[in-house]
Structure 1
Amino acid sequence: MLGCFMVIPVWQAHAAEADKPGAGNKKTDKTLQPEDDDFTSTPFTEYGEFNEDAEEAEESKFFQQGRFFGVSLRSGYEGLTGNRGQLWRGGFPVIDVKVHYWFDFTVAIDIGINSVKHYYEGTSTAGRTDISMFQMGLDVKYYFDTRNLSAALTAAHPYVLAGIASFSKNESSDNDKIVNSDSGMGFAAGGGLEFAIKQKKIYLSLEGKYHFINFKDTYTQNFIKTHSLPDLTGGFYQTLLGIMFTW
């Protein structure tokens, strides 16, 4: 009987030692458990894995079906609003050349140059004044996700844009050989459509844009007597149509 009582404490000590980590007990020692069993899944880890899978699938789809670079040549008309619009005439044709880069299906940037000619009639002694406009700018475009919309909207690739540009203009009159130059910074807002002629290769591009420009002569009073215009405030708008090549 005394021997039994002496064995029990020894057995309890061995059991406690076996339960310690690193003692070789598969139930308590995580080092002996398979790595998959050692990982505890939570809603946060599952959500993260889902996001990674979705992003990888979207990136893979973009590399297979998306556009990366492009070049476009477009032409159109430029009109004006406000007092400057009452004075200036012309505005056709606009020549517009751009390079395009797509980050993904929804975001792209354009870098381009744009030129157009205007004119206005002065007094009988001053004659006609010709105006050459030139701009260089950067636009950021956002394409709407139309996958769940009608086929017509999906085929049109609608987008909105915002941009910034540097503008310059040269004015020369019939009777005055001096060229008056002016420049200014401007902002643009607009939107457009791109219809695929050949998917991922050739597109018909239609775009409308409004420019907010502040030239040095914006608040001039030189036309009060001759044209009854207190200043030359007003904006510029363009409608462009052309071809875009992408790859």
Structure 2
Amino acid sequence: MKISIPKLLLIALVMISLPAISQAEEEVHIAQYDDNFDPFVDYSEFEQVTEEEADINFFRNGRFLAIGAMFGYRFFTNILGEIYEGAGAGGVFLSYFFDLRFAIQISYLTGDHRFKIDEAGKEFFGTITVSQTAFDIKYYLNTQNVTRGLASVNPYLIFGLAQVFRTSRFDDADGFARDAATSFHGGLGIEFPMMRNKMFFGLEGTYQYVNFQDESNELVIDDEETGVYPRGDIVKFLGIIGINF
């Protein structure tokens, strides 16, 4: 049986093409491989190590609770600042730390202020007691990348709200007047560790926006108009001493 030359060439061409086709199919399968179908692709050993290091750092250098006392100076702005004298205030606080950066704080602060109203020949003297219960969020700033001497201090931002109670007593009258208002405040603070971080001393300044019931209304005392329209906010500068747990 004779095989023609064209048939031999065709058979040879087919034999040569088979390896190329097989290689192309293999490349197609490799190109279609998708990491999304890999059950281990979401596992990251680096992330786990980072979380473990953060936990170890918190247990070594962090704190869970802090309790202490705060004392300082409180004054009022605007018209309230003209009739209320600035004075000292003191209180206590309790802080709970979620990590090295975030903490929540509950505090109580109280203090007395003398007031004097002298308008249109009428004078009124007395004392107001301003007390507040506050709920705050504190965010501690990272100082490890700054100058070595500042790396151990703990600056923070603080903001929150408070329920403020005001009790007014007049020198020449019996009884008292009491009202309350919700306030919002924010400020800055810094803490200095002591005794290997078992205690700390801190400084804090806050501005407190408060709106009492008689805000911008004429103040009437004993049915007498005073010509005073009280309005203003509260500013506090506190020194803090605390114990860490």
User: Could you state the TM-score of these two structures normalised by the residue count of structure 2?
Assistant: 0.77
Report the equivalent of 1:87: 83
Q: C-alpha offsets along residues 158-209 of structure 1, whole Å, 9 cap, x if unaligned?
A: 0001111111010010111120001010111011010011123110111111
1:152 CA drift (Å)? 3.3
Which segment drifts farther, 105-114 or 57-66? 57-66
- Cα RMSD (Å): 2.2
Say if 1:55 and 1:89 are closer, same or farther in 2 by CA, change over 3 A: same
Within the candidate set 214, 234, 241, 2:211 is matched to 214
Preserved contact between residue 126 and residue 175 of structure 1 (Cα < 8 Å): no
Q: C-alpha offsets along residues 10-47 of structure 1, whole Å, 9 cap, x if unaligned?
A: xxxxxxxxxxxxxxxxxxxxxxxxxxxxx6765xx36x
CA distance in 2, matches of 1:83, 1:152: 43
Q: How does 1:20-99 map to 2 (within 5 A)?
A: 42=41, 45=42, 48-91=44-87, 93-99=88-94
Other structure's SS at 1:155 match = coil
1:157 CA drift (Å)? 0.4
Which segment drifts farther, 52-61 or 67-76? 52-61
Other structure's SS at 1:99 match = strand
1:88 CA drift (Å)? 0.8
Other structure's SS at 1:122 match = strand
Other structure's SS at 2:213 match = coil
Say if 1:128 and 1:56 are closer, same or farther in 2 by CA, change over 3 A: same
1:155 CA drift (Å)? 2.2
CA distance in 2, matches of 1:150, 1:163: 30
Report the equivalent of 2:243: 245
1:225 CA drift (Å)? 6.6
Report the equivalent of 1:22: none
CA distance in 2, matches of 1:56, 1:215: 49
Other structure's SS at 2:69 match = strand
CA distance in 1, matches of 2:76, 2:70: 19
Other structure's SS at 2:91 match = strand
Report the equivalent of 1:132: 129
Report the equivalent of 1:120: 115
* Identity percentage of aligned residues: 27
Q: Residue 106 in 1 paired to residue 104 in 2?
A: no
Q: How does 1:191-210 map to 2 (within 5 A)?
A: 191-210=188-207
Q: What 5-or-longer segments of structure 1 have no aligned partner?
A: 1-38
Report the equivalent of 2:142: 145
Preserved contact between residue 126 and residue 173 of structure 1 (Cα < 8 Å): no
CA distance in 1, matches of 2:217, 2:84: 15
Report the equivalent of 2:178: 181
Say if 1:153 and 1:225 are closer, same or farther in 2 by CA, change over 3 A: farther
Aligned residues: 204
Q: C-alpha offsets along residues 42-92 of structure 1, whole Å, 9 cap, x if unaligned?
A: 5xx36x44223212210121012111111111110001111111111132x
Report the equivalent of 1:157: 154
